[in-house]
């Protein structure tokens, strides 16, 4: 019996080409904390053997679909421009191999079918898999040479920027305590000059509280209208140095959403990923942001030495799955560690099941439901209420009430 032609798959792979290495020393960095608690903290720069195994495994698994390679860190640009050139070249070479395999498979019915009367497998009939490249960077290492390469190969960038200099420079400094804001802004100007698409990723800390309008207007004044917010969660839940209180979380989001909605109504170009997803959910559509789905998707995270983990927030020894040099993606997805990660992410406190805003909240990212990230190794599968449970409940109640009262149409 003939095998069915494999269906194309679209997959995203989180790649850490420089492991935990970074040229900045941000006060709230979660990955430095994770790496320091592993037996081997820094895995160096990804070598050719791991790169080739990663590309071959993911491109073949996609079966003619698209593989999105999202390079993260640490700081991924520390791997150097030659690394990225080699990576793209290796992808192109693998696509040529897939084309050759496809051409050979199309000849097989004519050759082998006449000899044996059998029709060969159609596994190689799919078109070559496509590749999409994204980089999440602190921006300080972006040069004209990088920009020329990014523009040529259609890279999409995410640049870490926490807002105005007085806020950004509080926590995002070089190891010798120098400020980094100006270097990031210079990099953004370079990206604009090369017309490279990018968004801004901001870590929201207590430094934002009470300054929502000022920060929002600052982003606007610099034509930064593709935004994504990550709410700072400290490794130790009792540490409130960086983390918003529940009241601050609620007020900040109410203010930001009002400003965002006003701009949408006026036809201004604005995207804040959290709110974009909330509007989609109010319209009955599924969110695309993983922390808003109510469960963890099967994400492929590859460290520089090929080590595999279920999520970039969980690149710890406790969640180690295997190595890309030795394991296929089907094995990864069905591995007990991956399955435990996926199943445990769906656990809910009893209070969640009867909460009136569960449809919007869905519990939030599992990382924000860990009792303590520092003690994750001790009890890796224990989850509790979201650290901003009350703040989220207040904000989502406001959002639902606003919709029900007809003050805006989603």
Q: Which residues are catalytic?
A: 312
**Do residues 287 and 277 touch, judged by C-beta distance below 8 A?**
yes
CA atoms of 405 and 62, how far apart (whole Å): 46
Residue 123: CB atoms within 10 Å: 14
**Do residues 96 and 44 touch, judged by C-beta distance below 8 A?**
no
What torsion, rounded to 10 degrees, do the Cα atoms 274, 276, 281, 284 define?
A: -170
CA atoms of 207 and 194, how far apart (whole Å): 32
**Do residues 54 and 302 touch, judged by C-beta distance below 8 A?**
yes
Sequence-distant (≥ 6) Cβ neighbours of residue 175 within 8 angstroms? 23, 24, 25
| DSSP E strands, 8-115 | 11-15, 66-71
Sequence-distant (≥ 6) Cβ neighbours of residue 40 within 8 angstroms? none
Residue 120: CB atoms within 10 Å: 18
The sheet carrying 156-160 orders its strands as: 271-272, 226-231, 198-204, 156-160, 130-137, 66-71, 11-15, 300-302, 307-309, 322-323
Give the residue among 310, 216, 228, 319 at the shortest CA–CA distance from 268: 216
Partners of 228 in the beta sheet? 201
What is the number of residues in the chain? 410
């Amino acid at each position: 019996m003939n095998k069915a032609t494999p269906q194309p798959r679209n997959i995203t792979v989180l790649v850490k080409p420089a492991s935990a290495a970074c040229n900045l020393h941000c006060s709230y960095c979660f990955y430095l904390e994770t790496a320091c608690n592993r037996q081997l903290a820094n895995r160096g720069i990804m070598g050719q053997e791991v790169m080739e195994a990663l590309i071959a495994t993911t491109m073949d698994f996609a079966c003619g679909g698209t593989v999105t390679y999202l390079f993260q860190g640490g700081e991924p640009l520390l791997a150097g421009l030659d690394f990225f050139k080699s990576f793209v070249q290796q992808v192109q070479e693998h696509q040529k191999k897939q084309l050759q395999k496809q051409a050979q498979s199309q000849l097989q019915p004519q050759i082998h079918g006449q000899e044996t009367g059998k029709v060969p497998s159609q596994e190689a009939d799919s078109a070559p898999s496509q590749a999409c490249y994204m980089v999440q960077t602190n921006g300080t290492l972006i040069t004209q040479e990088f920009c020329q390469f990014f523009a040529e190969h259609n890279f999409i960038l995410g640049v870490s920027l926490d807002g105005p200099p007085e806020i950004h420079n509080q926590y995002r400094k070089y190891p010798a305590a120098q400020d980094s804001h100006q270097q990031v802004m210079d990099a953004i100007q370079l990206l604009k000059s090369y017309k490279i698409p990018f968004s801004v990723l901001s870590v929201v800390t207590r430094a934002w509280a009470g300054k929502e309008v000022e920060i929002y207007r600052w982003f606007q004044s610099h034509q930064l209208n593709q935004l994504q917010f990550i709410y700072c969660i400290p490794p130790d839940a009792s540490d409130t140095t960086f983390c918003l209180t529940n009241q601050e979380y609620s007020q900040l989001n109410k203010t930001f959403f009002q400003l965002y909605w006003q701009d949408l109504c006026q036809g201004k170009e604005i995207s804040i990923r959290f709110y974009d997803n909330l509007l989609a959910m109010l319209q009955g559509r599924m969110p695309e942001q993983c922390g808003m789905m109510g469960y963890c998707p099967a994400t492929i995270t590859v460290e520089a030495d090929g080590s595999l983990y279920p999520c970039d927030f969980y690149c710890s020894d406790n969640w180690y799955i295997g190595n890309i040099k030795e394991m296929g993606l089907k094995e990864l997805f069905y591995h007990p560690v991956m399955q435990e990660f996926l199943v445990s992410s769906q656990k809910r406190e009893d209070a969640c099941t009867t909460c009136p805003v569960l449809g919007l909240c869905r519990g939030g990212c599992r990382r924000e439901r860990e009792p303590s990230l520092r003690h994750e190794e001790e009890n890796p599968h224990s989850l509790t209420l979201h650290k901003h449970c009350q703040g989220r409940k207040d904000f989502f109640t406001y959002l639902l009430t606003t919709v029900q009262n007809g003050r805006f149409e989603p």
